[in-house]
Amino acid sequence: MKELLIPYVLICWLLFRFGLVAKRPRNYFIATLGGTLLFAALFFAHRLYSPADLTHSTQVRAPHTVMSPPIGQEIVEIYVDHNERVKAGQKLYRLRDDEQVARLARAEARVEQERVKLAQAERRLQDKHDLGKFASLDDLRSAQEAVELAELHLAERVAQMEREAATLSRNVITATHDGLVTHVLVGEGSRVGALHVYDTSRKFVEMRIADQSYQYIEPGQFAEFYVDAYPGQIFRARVHSITMATGESQGSPFPFDQSVGGFIQRGAAPVGRTVILEFDVPEGVVMPLGTTGSAWISANKPHPALGFLDMVGAAVVRLGAIKSYVQSL
């Protein structure tokens, strides 16, 4: 931010250097006071109407799906590796559930049992038909009803077997969308673990603003940002939404009275809140998740004459993008 005073300092130096302004203590004081007031006016107006993230905590993020085996199951095989891009439906890992395997085996045995009963009922019905006129009508009806009842029991057992098989098939965990697996921190034999699949098609940028700028931010406003992964490059974005609640406002689910000291610590610091920016990745650019930088937003202004403040926000971000080269040292 202080780099914005360089043109003012240069102009004052030229005025004194070439004698256009007398070198008197009074003139030195006026030049210094003017620079201080100009800096203060630009700084405070810029913080409200073209806010930039001076903390350099702006971050590229993406929603992710947490794949985690339930308690009681065991990972027996992992099909992906670190930092691997996956497609929707691709196998990630397989779980083993001995109890579910046993339930499926019992269901298959019951199906075979019902098939045997159905075959016996069909043979009895055929025997009644072979007797011809020697078989009574009641015997034929009873045999026919026994066959129909056996068919119903068989259909019920088959449905149970298919349900158990479907439950067992869910032990093969697949990706629900195209994305990226970063760290594979679970290993074979794990009973509790997690695997994250980031949805790289829905990347967004999250930046911090002061609470004083909250009333001037609206969805759809123009924004720009840079990230350290691409120093010197500026990317365009637009405001998606502003965070309406922060972690400091979250209460405890446990029936305990809150600590007054903790309440003061959470509320005293001017942490502000965050804004979600959506952007389109330029062709040829692979925006890595987690990379940080800075951003600014063209917020609402009380008068169109203050539109020049957007140049201040843009200049702050561009200076940060240039200094990003030096920060690598």
Q: How far is CA 179 from CA 87, 200, 202, in A?
A: 7, 5, 10
What pLDDT score does 134 carry?
A: 64
Domain-by-domain residue ranges, the chain?
Answer: 45-62+203-327, 64-96+171-199, 98-168
Q: Considering only 71-80, 154-163, 195-204, which range has the smallest mean pLDDT? A: 71-80
What pLDDT score does 268 carry?
A: 77
Task: Name the class of domain 98-168.
Answer: mainly alpha
pLDDT band at 207 (very low <50, low <70, confident <90, very high): very high
Q: Which CATH architecture has domain 64-96+171-199?
A: Beta Barrel (2.40)
Q: Are 239 and 253 in contact (CB under 8 A)?
A: no
The dihedrals phi and psi of 48, each to the nearest 5 degrees, come to -90, -45
The rounded distance, in Å, linking the Cα atoms of 129 and 150 is: 18
Two tokens, residue 49? 């109407």
Residue scoring higher pLDDT (62 or 110): 62
CATH 3.40.720.10 for domain 45-62+203-327: no
pTM over 0.85: no
Averaged pLDDT score across all residues of the chain = 84
Under 8 Å CB-to-CB from 124, ≥6 apart: which residues? 143, 146
Q: Considering only 24-33, 87-96, 101-110, which range has the smallest mean pLDDT? A: 101-110
The dihedrals phi and psi of 33, each to the nearest 5 degrees, come to -65, -40
Instruction: To the nearest 10°, report the CA torsion of 59, 65, 66, 71.
Output: 170
